[in-house]
Chain A
Amino acid sequence: MENTEVKRQTLALLVDNEPGVLSQIARLFSRKGYNIEAFAAGPTENPGMSRITIDVLADEPHTELLCNQLRKLYPIHSVKWLNAETSIYREHMLVKVRAESSERRNDIMQLANIFRAQIIDVSLQTLTIGISGDADKLNGLLNILSEFEVLEIARTGVVAIERGIATINDESKESGEFSYGKNVL
């Protein structure tokens, strides 16, 4: 049987870059009772299209349903349900930490170095750190920084892409439908 464990699923969507698409997608998630955990949108190699990466908490059967419902929307060209093992995930985060003494600043900068994060702004009261990576790395840094006073966090939401030659374009709606699953029994 399919896996009914609820976990974070990542969907990549290729959509027409036109007004109203975002609200259609957002509505579909809220209408079906799913909360969007992370959301990132941006242009693609094709100027008329945008790529959207959405993280959602759901089990596998429901994610499949969600994909099929997304595929029904006319502005959506492709829906790819990304597999954690064959995809790369990246997210960017900015963290502002209080650092009012040089000692503090030094401590934080050392930690940032270990995570290969950059100090992108400094004031006499604060340091702002920029870091890219997967969720584990970002959360790892946040964990350590919790020892200090974190003033503000801004995260982009995950973007993801498959490893190797595979692309989202492989999954036209039609091939998606064929791979929907041969019958069980």
Chain B
Amino acid sequence: MRLTGADILMECLLEQDVEVIFGYPGGTILNVYDALVKYRGRIRHYLTAHEQGASHAADGYARSTGKVGVAFSTSGPGATNLTTGVATAYMDSSPVVFISCNVAENLIGKDSFQEVDSTGIMLPITKSNFQITDVNKLADTVRKAFAIARSGRPGPVFIDILKNVTAEEAEYEFIPRSEHKKTGVLQTLYERNMADFKIPSIDEEDIDKLVEMIGESEKPMLICGGGVVRARAHEEFNKFCNLVDAPTAITVMGGGGMQGRNPHTTGMIGMHGSQASNMACDNCDLLIAVGCRFSDRVALDPSTFAKQAKIVHIDIDRSEINKNVMTDHHIIGDAKEVLKMLNERLTQQEHPEWKEFVFSYPTETVYEEGGDTLTPKQVCDTIARLMPQDTIVATDVGQHQMWAIQHFHFDYPGQLITSGGFGTMGFGLGAAIGAKVGNPDKMVIHIAGDGSFRMNCNELCTEQYYGIPVITFVFDNKTLGMVRQWQNLIYKKNFSETTLTDRGPDFVKLAEAYGLRGWRVNNQKDLEAAILEAMECGKGCVIDCVLDIDEMVRPMVGGGSHITDFMKI
């Protein structure tokens, strides 16, 4: 069958069972948007307010559903607007295929209108990227891109298609996804035994060794990282945690990697980790980290991190081993498979004294009850009490993000959607929209700070037009809270450019301007009423929760400090 490049692209997306695309059209991608109309019944396109919103929406969709997200953009500024979203997906290993078109072949390299070297820009922030200059290679490259995005340690892939390629015709033959690895470039990649496509089978000796180490350990500790979430290994991890009977810390990216209310959880670990987590880490004799990369927010000081412990690292990506923290033992493999093998071999362990020691420290921060005003914990607790337990939470970045992760309990992968690695302010609204599109039956909320929300609140128009009922909670403390906290503690209260008092917009009026509903709440009673009404109305809503400007995220350990050196706050 002879088709144009644009049609081939659409057919290839159908091969991958893509149902949803987030994007923004423009000059060079016009042929693709032209073809989109023909495929409207099978592929839904969501026009966002900004390409960055589209990139976060595709990311949120991918994280919440486990499928590959897709975002479209045009050349030049379209592609550069995607980059923040691409880097966000890259740092958090989220499988998204970003597709952009570039100027036609006769204009490439001539500094043409809206031309930029987009593959060059995307190089450091994608797992792989391709520029397609030959329509005959289009289908093959798209298949390869999707396979790369979802295989091994997932990640974003960027495809840049020249405009003339989308108009030219080539022979296209439908190939079901299961057959892709037997054709074209993918076949060669499989034959080459690329680690991503053919993960070496898990070494039984390594597993036995770890089982032995667990048996010998008196004070074991586990860390549940983002790899558990990506592998959807929450059930296996939960069972593993119960079998080892070990205190278990959850990283920011690990939220949902195990039952949030499992009595073994000590909460978050690291800079804003609970005292229980950080004390356990400092005192354990065996630390098993699953799918985590010991980032500087967890292993604050790598040289003294878990200094009494033998460190065991389970990860799918070999290049993570010994990258930040030197380990004593490692297992390479998919978290789900590794944990299954471990669970089969492990006998029930008991560590009552060790647990008693660890849980003598608080797992959750106690905040003073605000009298007339709201406290962050109150807001989180009220949301948790009134909303369904499986509500998906998308956050922006800052204090509200830490509060949300500290106080909510996530039970399944994709329930928490947050930019942990890249720390992208403005990520939450787009991501929440993507999550709601992917999970129409679940309640989706967006936790934002007033600073973060201001960044990409333009996506409220996407919510309104497509009727996507995301409820946004703005933790409105009239400041860039996390920066203010650092200024407060480290910069001698020199609050340079962080105070937002007297700055617009009025978030309630803003919501209304977009045709949505908004409330401003100062106390728990009003908050409860607003939540109930928001859940009822079935529209996108903004609830502006007024907080004190000096609220802090506690506890806190300074960057690079020893993990138990809690600051006096």
By a beta-carbon cutoff of 8 Å, the part of chain A in contact with chain B is: 20, 23-24, 27, 31, 61, 64-65, 68-69, 71-74, 77, 172-174, 177-178, 180, 182-185
Contacts and interface: CB of A to CB of B under 8 A. Distances in A.
A137 to B, nearest CB: 36
A27 B195 contact: no
A183 B330 contact: yes
Contacts of B330: 183
Size category, B interface: 20 to 34
Contacts of A73: 128
A182 B206 CA distance: 8
A74 B124 contact: no
Contacts of B355: none
B319 interface: yes
A74 B195 contact: no
Contacts of B196: 72
B2 interface: no
17 contacts: A27-B123, A31-B124, A61-B322, A65-B319, A68-B318, A72-B195, A72-B317, A72-B319, A74-B148, A74-B189, A74-B194, A172-B192, A173-B195, A174-B195, A174-B200, A177-B200, A183-B330
Given A23-B120, A74-B148, A172-B193, A177 B332 contact: yes
A11 to B, nearest CB: 15
A157 to B, nearest CB: 23
B119 interface: yes
Interface string B179-194: 0000000000100111
Contacts of B195: 71-72, 173-174, 177
B345 interface: no
Secondary structure at the A interface, as helix, strand, loop or mixed, is: helix
Contacts of B198: 174
A77 B191 CA distance: 11
Interface in B194-209: 194-196, 198, 200, 205-206, 209
Given A61-B326, A68-B319, A174-B200, 20 more contacts: A20-B119, A23-B120, A23-B123, A65-B319, A65-B323, A68-B321, A71-B319, A72-B196, A74-B148, A74-B189, A74-B194, A172-B193, A173-B194, A173-B195, A174-B195, A174-B198, A177-B318, A178-B200, A183-B328, A183-B330
A183 B329 contact: yes
A175 B326 CA distance: 23
A22 to B, nearest CB: 12
B340 interface: no
Contacts of A61: 322, 326
Top 4 closest A-B pairs, CB basis? A68-B319, A174-B193, A69-B319, A183-B329
Contacts of B194: 74, 173
Nearest to A180: B318
Of listed B189, B310, B319, residue having the most chain A CB within 10 A: B319
A73 B120 CA distance: 15
Contacts of B189: 74
A103 to B, nearest CB: 54
A178 B330 CA distance: 13
Interface in B279-324: 310, 317-319, 321-323
B156 to A, nearest CB: 14
Nearest to A183: B329
Contact of B124 (A27, A173, A177): A27
B123 A173 contact: no
B329 A74 contact: no
A180 B322 CA distance: 12
Nearest to B319: A68
Of listed B195, B209, B318, residue having the most chain A CB within 10 A: B318
Contact of A74 (B123, B128, B328): B128
A20 B198 CA distance: 25
Contacts of A31: 124
Contacts of A173: 192-195
Nearest to A78: B192
Interface in B101-125: 119-120, 123-124
A24 B129 CA distance: 10
B488 to A, nearest CB: 33
Nearest to B153: A72
Contacts of B205: 182
Of listed A172, A178, A183, residue having the most chain B CB within 10 A: A183
Contacts of A27: 123-124
Contacts of A180: 318
Given A172-B193, A173-B193, A177-B332, A183 B209 contact: yes
Contacts of B200: 174, 177-178
A117 to B, nearest CB: 41
Nearest to B213: A185
Nearest to A31: B124
B123 A24 contact: yes
Contacts of A77: 192
Contacts of A65: 319, 322-323
A185 B329 contact: yes
B328 A185 contact: yes
B210 to A, nearest CB: 9
Contacts of A74: 128, 148, 189, 194
A28 B244 CA distance: 39
B152 to A, nearest CB: 9
Of listed A69, A72, A73, A182, residue having the most chain B CB within 10 A: A72
A11 B332 CA distance: 24
A177 B321 CA distance: 12
A68 B153 CA distance: 14
Interface string B367-405: 000000000000000000000000000000000000000
Contacts of B124: 27, 31
A107 B136 CA distance: 63
B553 to A, nearest CB: 31
